[in-house]
Amino acid sequence: MTALWVVVPAYDEETRIGATLAALAAQTDQDFTLLVVDNGSTDGTADVVRRFAVTAPVPTGLIEERQKGVGAAVDTAFRYAIAHGATLLARTDADCLPRPGWVAAARRTLTAGAELACGRIVARRDEHGPVGRAAFRCLVVAAATFGRLRPAHRGAGWRAPYRMHAGNNMAITAATYLAVGGMPRRPSPTDREFLNRVRRHTAAIAHDRHMVVENSTRRLRAYGLRRTAAWYLDRGSGQLSPDPR
């Protein structure tokens, strides 16, 4: 099968990344290489990954990127994977839980002709109750709607219509990743800029509802509803930490 690598950027995720690794170990399609990129963690994140790698059902590697920011971490990891033979790339985050069919859906969508595949994000059930999960769902809908209506995302020059792209639930061909210049090497948020790079390059962008990732809602607790909404509308974190714990 085509060489697929899954990349997970991580920063101080000692208490959470174990669940993410377990979710990836439970994938129905296990023909992939897992690569965790430690973005300068000061806790035991790397030790958790090393222990997992000993008995993991998939080949698991660990590299480090000291330049702060998820953009730099992901770019370094994707380029490392490509240099080691990856032709398909997928990404989730170290506080997220990909559902069992996530890798299979990503592979299926890319091999069917998509150059970029975006999935569906839902709230983790272990962080908030029904009200918090509903608030998260509303934020996602608002951000997606804002993105579609934003004048800068419409008109000439785009090869594909705007559709919200979550960096923690994406897959892309290696050829397309290199052709668009890779991920912006800066702190979050980077998703909109990267999607627009791809939209300028190709119309082969697909949304696969079977690519499901359970997303952490801890930003909602750390920022509150209004500031979290600003974050998902790509307004950044302001004076707040872009990496709430």
Poorest-pLDDT segment among 57-71, 80-94, 126-140, 180-194:
126-140
The confidence score (pLDDT) of residue 65 equals 96
The confidence score (pLDDT) of residue 219 equals 63
CATH of residue 35's domain is 3.90.550.10
Residue 245 inside a domain? The answer is no
Could you list the residue range(s) of the whole structural domain that residue 148 is in? Answer: 4-232
* Mean pLDDT within 135-160: 70
* Number of structural domains in the chain: 1
Residue 81 inside a domain? The answer is yes
Residue 170 inside a domain? The answer is yes
Residues 192-232 have pLDDT tens digits of 889 999 999 999 999 999 999 998 876 666 565 556 555 55
Residue 47 inside a domain? The answer is yes
Residues 103-133 have pLDDT tens digits of 999 999 999 999 999 999 898 888 777 877 7
Residue 243 inside a domain? The answer is no
Q: Where is 171: in which H helix or E strand? A: strand 170-173
Residues 137-149 have pLDDT tens digits of 767 666 666 566 6
3-state secondary structure 205-229: EEEEEEEEEEECCHHHHHHCHHHHH
Residues 7-63 have pLDDT tens digits of 999 999 999 999 999 999 999 999 999 999 999 999 999 999 999 999 999 999 999
* Mean pLDDT within 144-157: 68
3-state secondary structure at position 199: helix
Specify the pTM: 0.86
Residue 238 inside a domain? The answer is no
Backbone phi and psi for residue 195, each to the nearest 5 degrees, phi listed first = -60, -40
Residue 33 inside a domain? The answer is yes
- No. of helices (H) and no. of strands (E), the chain: 9, 8
Residue 237 inside a domain? The answer is no
Q: Which pLDDT band holds residue 237 (cuts at 50, 70, 90)? A: very low
